[in-house]
Structure 1
Amino acid sequence: MADKLTMRELNGGDIFTMLAILGKLDIKDEVVELLERQYGSGNTLPTLNDHKKKKATKAEQEAQEQAIELRGMRVLTDIGFAILRHVGDVKNDTNTFLADLTGVRRKEIEGLSMLAYTALLVDFAKKPELKDFFQSIASVLG
């Protein structure tokens, strides 16, 4: 089997698989703590549409947007490391999900080289649909 696999686009049914895997990770408390640390009281960012103040300059708007993006990247990185600490708990589920996304059997996923497996995980993490999924969750929380 060739080491480079391509993944199909994520769809609505995949949400349930991802939520089930996240649920088995048992990292809710860690994630809540991470989110509170970034978005909790006393740790707010200026809003882009604060009508009570003068209109922000383009440079101020760009700085605010960069700060918001940096905060989001920190949260996703922290969540990613929390997942990695517990990933052994969901190995079979993850491999089954990756097999479904790539159209191969789970045994083939498990037989990938470390480099190919890591590349597959990175490809999954970079999927635009995944980013949209987490942004949707964040918008509900924020």
Structure 2
Amino acid sequence: MNLEMRELKGDDLFSLLSIVGKLDIKDEFVEMFEKNVESAEKVVPLDYKDKKPTKAEQAKIDKAKEKAEKEAQKRGMEMGAKMLQKTLRNLKSVKFDINELLAELTATDVSTISTLGLTEYTTLIITFFKKPELIDFFKSIATLL
């Protein structure tokens, strides 16, 4: 059976937060945020100047922004991977929530999801965790702190 998965919507956040809460990944989030603070470069405010930054200053600013963006993206992807790993290890505790979310995302019912073959089920979970919107969600969290 080949199930198509729709894009995540804002309302899916509540199901996702319930799963995250049950997975107890607070330590992973704290670690990610600590890395964010440690890797942040000290930015020299330019608002005290009345003129535009020089080309050299602007290049430095652009380079720092690009580096921060790449690091935030990497941390977001790492968080998604950690969440996938923890979900697979603790599938029993979030089984119903995962099945319910997957059923909603594929426009099927929970019984259809729960009766999928092992390969199909695992593929569906991995597909979910590879969704760009989910990676963007973790990336957004990483850039906020």
State TM-score, norm by structure 1.
0.72
- Choose the corresponding residue for 2:89, options 85, 93, 96: 85
The residue identity in structure 1 corresponding to 2:39 is T
Closer/same/farther in 2, CA of residues 122 and 128 from structure 1, 3 Å limit: same
Deviation at 1:31, TM superposition (A): 2.6
Q: Percent identity?
A: 40
Whole-angstrom CA distance in 2 between matches of 1:133 and 1:70: 12
Give unpaired runs (5+ residues) of structure 2: 47-55
User: What letter matches 1:7 in structure 2?
Assistant: M
- Matched AA of 2:31: E
Q: Which has the larger radius of gyration?
A: 2
Paired amino acid for 2:126: V
Give the gaps of 5 or more residues in structure 1.
Answer: none
Q: How does 1:35-114 map to 2 (within 5 A)?
A: 35-36=33-34, 38-40=35-37, 43-46=38-41, 54=57, 56=59, 64=67, 69-114=73-118
| Cα gap change, 1:107 to 1:9, in 2 (>3 Å) | same
CA apart distance, 1:125: 1.4
Instruction: Report which stretch shifted further, 24-33 or 99-108.
Output: 24-33
Of structures 1 and 2, the one with the larger relative CO (CA 8 A, separation 6+) is: 2
Coordinate RMSD, CA, aligned: 3.1
Is the Cα–Cα contact under 8 Å of residues 32 and 75 in structure 2 kept in the other structure? Answer: no
Q: Residue deviations 1:9-62, cap 9 Å, x none?
A: 2111111111111112222234323432x224xx31547x867875558xx67x
1:4 partnered with 2:2: yes
2:15 equivalent in structure 1: 17
C-alpha displacement at 1:123, in angstroms? 1.7
* Contact 2:99–2:110 (CA under 8 A) maintained in structure 1: yes
Q: What TM-score comes out, normalization by structure 2 length?
A: 0.71
Matched residue count: 135
